[in-house]
Structure 1
Amino acid sequence: MNKKMLLLVLLCSVSFFALQAQYNFVVQNGSASVYNTLQEAYDNTSAGDTIYLPGGSFNFPSVDKPLVWIGVGYHPDSTAATYFTRINNPVNFSGNCDNTYLTGMHFMSNVTFGTSGQDVTDVTIFRCRISGSLTLKYNNTVEVLLNDKVSECIIDGSIDAGMGSNVIIEKTILKGTLGHFRNSYMNHNIFTYGARNSGSGYSFLLSYCENCQVKNSVINYYSYVNWRADVYGSINNNFLNNIFAGNITFPDGTNTGSYNITGVDLSTVFENIDGNFQDFSYLHNFHLKAGSPAAAAGMNGADIGIYGHTVPFKDGGLPVTPHIRSVEVNDETTNGLLPVSVSVGAQEN
């Protein structure tokens, strides 16, 4: 990132909290332009442009073109100097949004890709939190090659691929069901839900999924008599080197599994779980505690869970852009100017 772009990104993050003025949104398309509203910034983009969002609370526009969206982060502690980038409304990306890239934002509601008859492909969602459900494909009647990737995210709801294939879910903390995936790959995740909803309802890890591989993950799903909480309506999926809270057995129909560890008390796995394991908390510590059964139990001797990947989950969830560590604003002006001191740290990955 060049110096001019870095300065504009800093203005984005500092403007509201430091200067108590209007927000600034930067659009980068070779040169950089600054706008006062997100809608105005979006209206002035072309396909492939990048929008930098500051910390603050916003509504997304209706999105009908492929863009790169970069917020300042979702984690409250990591964004103390700027506030996190919060998206308040449900967001829909139309079928014209192939190659969309999202990072550094907390979506407070559902995120949906595609419209009737037009799917979105090649989507990347990196270091975001979604406090709703994620729908990667508009309907589930036809199998489509999606080529999507969800990495280092926190998903508080379910993910439905709509019979989409070649989707990667990695290093992600998910409460909810993976539905209608085809030929997809789930690696080094934590699945926190415990199978049963209130009353007589049930929830499942995989629902109507086919030919998927789940490996190196911690799975809180367990079974009741005559119910299989790991799979429902799913065939030909393979579970490798996972830890299950329940006493899961394979084969389960045409679903297979090898080198899984079952019946595990998850309190023996992680450093700290603050309260209810099923509901995400920033006070949870998903690093493995000493003697954890997940240590070196993954494929090729890797640790199971979000930190066992060769490029592990990054604490704090910051996007790969310079990070504002602190902002100091002088109470008095000097020569008519308001002195502002900003401390910035580079991000290696």
Structure 2
Amino acid sequence: MKTKRLFTLFTTLIAFTAFGQNVITVDNSVGANAQYSDLQSAIDNASSGDTIYIHASELSYGNATIDKQLKLVGYGHSNTIKNTYLGSIILEDNASGSEFTGLYVLSGIDCQNSVTVINDLVFENCRFYALSFGSSFYAGCNNVLVKGCVVPSISGFATNMIITNNVLTRVYIDENYQSVTIRNNFFFHPSSGSPNCIINYSSANGSITAQNNIFYYTSASSSVAINVAGVIYEYCLSYTPNGTYEIMNGSNNLDNVNPLFVNVINNQYEADIDDFHLQAGSPAIGAGVNGFDIGLYDGSAFEFNNFGFTPGIPTVTITAITEQVAPGDNVEVTIQSNSN
């Protein structure tokens, strides 16, 4: 007797090997035949420029510390069966040029580079508890891209940072407001603590401009505060179905207007049911800067993926398998694939 199971296979593509010198595989599942079962061991033995594929697992891979250029590629962050879970990631000196995709980092990522600036970081299709680019005690980061991620909080000292196509709650800008781009994101408005989605701690020196973002709060029953010193909104949209948003500081905004999503119900991220695409007739279509749409999907080649699947790496799902097989008979398997 075979028990019918639904499980997912993680398939890698040769195209990604161009990133680095070697491709290293890690899988902590029982009986797996990857090169490593422990992620930190794989990192310690990797060379600068290597790519590490981290298979989906029901178990967390624990905490990781990185002090070299690596690309970490996971399966995804919000699949109903398995994901690539990590506890935390600490980036130290010499981690410049590192990339991260398809990971669920439960305790977030923290830059703790004490000597040299970390340059050229890419975070794509990941889910973090928080993403911190250090504090005044560290050297900071430069040239940072955060794209297609789900993250409640982004903070720290970073220059030339682009935050785009993400599901967010708050962004804290400590310094260098003039070199930070916040565009085409979806903000679940915070329901506790500070009421503001974007906070500029350098407001005495100047303002940061946020463009093409949607601010959404399903639980409001009265006026929702969004304005804060040093933040200007342009071509943004706010909406709460049960209350009102205060008028955003800035220009060409849509204040308290229903964006007409395909499906967003609650004030929290739910990958299985949320659909942030805009319905036909949405006021956000073509209402952004230069006629682009407001919200997650700006018409570019990049598409936000609810589950954090890495573009170019297909997911293969066995949806049916013969339950009983006589000796010598064939096992019939039905496979469904997605090219992502």
Bin of the TM-score, shorter chain as denominator length: 0.7 to 0.9
Partner of residue 309, structure 2: 318
Partner of residue 192, structure 2: 197
Q: Does 2:32 match 1:22?
A: yes
Shift in Å, 1:299: 1.8
Shift in Å, 1:291: 2.9
Asked if the contact 2:235/2:251 (under 8 Å) is kept, the reply is: yes
Asked if the contact 2:76/2:310 (under 8 Å) is kept, the reply is: yes
Q: Higher mean Cα deviation, 176-185 or 94-103?
A: 176-185
- Scaled by the length of structure 2, what TM-score is found? 0.76
Asked if the contact 1:23/1:54 (under 8 Å) is kept, the reply is: no
Asked if the contact 1:114/1:120 (under 8 Å) is kept, the reply is: no
Cα gap change, 1:211 to 1:167, in 2 (>3 Å): farther
What percentage of aligned pairs have identical amino acids? Answer: 23
Q: Does 2:270 match 1:281?
A: yes
Pairing partner for 2:182 from 178, 181, 186: 186
**Given residue 230 of structure 1, which amino acid in structure 2 is its aligned partner?**
N
**Given residue 269 of structure 2, which amino acid in structure 1 is its aligned partner?**
F
Shift in Å, 1:66: 1.6
Asked if the contact 1:212/1:238 (under 8 Å) is kept, the reply is: yes
**Given residue 317 of structure 2, which amino acid in structure 1 is its aligned partner?**
S
Shift in Å, 1:70: 0.3
Asked if the contact 2:169/2:197 (under 8 Å) is kept, the reply is: no
Q: Does 2:144 match 1:148?
A: yes
Shift in Å, 1:174: 0.1
Q: Does 2:107 match 1:109?
A: yes
Shift in Å, 1:44: 1.6
Q: Does 2:47 match 1:46?
A: yes
Partner of residue 254, structure 1: none
Asked if the contact 2:187/2:197 (under 8 Å) is kept, the reply is: no
Asked if the contact 2:113/2:140 (under 8 Å) is kept, the reply is: no
Partner of residue 134, structure 1: 131
**Helix, strand or coil for the counterpart of 2:42?**
helix
**Helix, strand or coil for the counterpart of 1:300?**
helix
Q: For 1:35 and 1:284, how far apart are their aligned partners in 2?
A: 35
**Helix, strand or coil for the counterpart of 2:192?**
coil
Q: Does 2:30 match 1:36?
A: no
**Helix, strand or coil for the counterpart of 1:42?**
helix
Structure 2, unaligned stretches of length 5 or more? 1-12, 240-244
Partner of residue 121, structure 2: 123
More relative contact order, 1 or 2 (CA 8 Å, 6+ apart) = 2
Asked if the contact 2:264/2:275 (under 8 Å) is kept, the reply is: yes
Structure 1, unaligned stretches of length 5 or more? 25-33, 251-256
Cα gap change, 1:332 to 1:67, in 2 (>3 Å): farther
**Helix, strand or coil for the counterpart of 1:231?**
coil
Q: For 2:181 and 2:108, how far apart are their aligned partners in 1?
A: 22
**Given residue 320 of structure 1, which amino acid in structure 2 is its aligned partner?**
P
Partner of residue 252, structure 2: 259
**Given residue 168 of structure 2, which amino acid in structure 1 is its aligned partner?**
L
Q: For 1:171 and 1:54, how far apart are their aligned partners in 2?
A: 25
Asked if the contact 2:93/2:113 (under 8 Å) is kept, the reply is: yes
Q: Which is strand-richer, 1 or 2?
A: 2
Cα gap change, 1:105 to 1:263, in 2 (>3 Å): same
**Helix, strand or coil for the counterpart of 1:41?**
helix
Asked if the contact 1:53/1:69 (under 8 Å) is kept, the reply is: yes
**Given residue 42 of structure 1, which amino acid in structure 2 is its aligned partner?**
I
Shift in Å, 1:322: 2.6
Q: For 1:2 and 1:288, how far apart are their aligned partners in 2?
A: 35
Q: Higher mean Cα deviation, 51-60 or 141-150?
A: 141-150
Q: How does 1:187-336 map to 2 (within 5 A)?
A: 187-194=183-190, 197=192, 202-209=195-202, 210-220=206-216, 229-232=226-229, 234=230, 237-245=231-239, 246-250=245-249, 257-264=250-257, 266=258, 268-274=259-265, 276-277=266-267, 279-282=268-271, 283-315=273-305, 316-327=307-318
Asked if the contact 1:296/1:303 (under 8 Å) is kept, the reply is: yes
Superposed CA deviations along residues 240-261 of structure 1, whole A, max 9, x for unmatched, are 21112322243xxxxxx22111
Q: For 1:188 and 1:284, how far apart are their aligned partners in 2?
A: 17
Q: For 2:26 and 2:326, how far apart are their aligned partners in 1?
A: 21
Shift in Å, 1:116: 3.3
Q: For 1:238 and 1:85, how far apart are their aligned partners in 2?
A: 37
**Helix, strand or coil for the counterpart of 2:290?**
helix
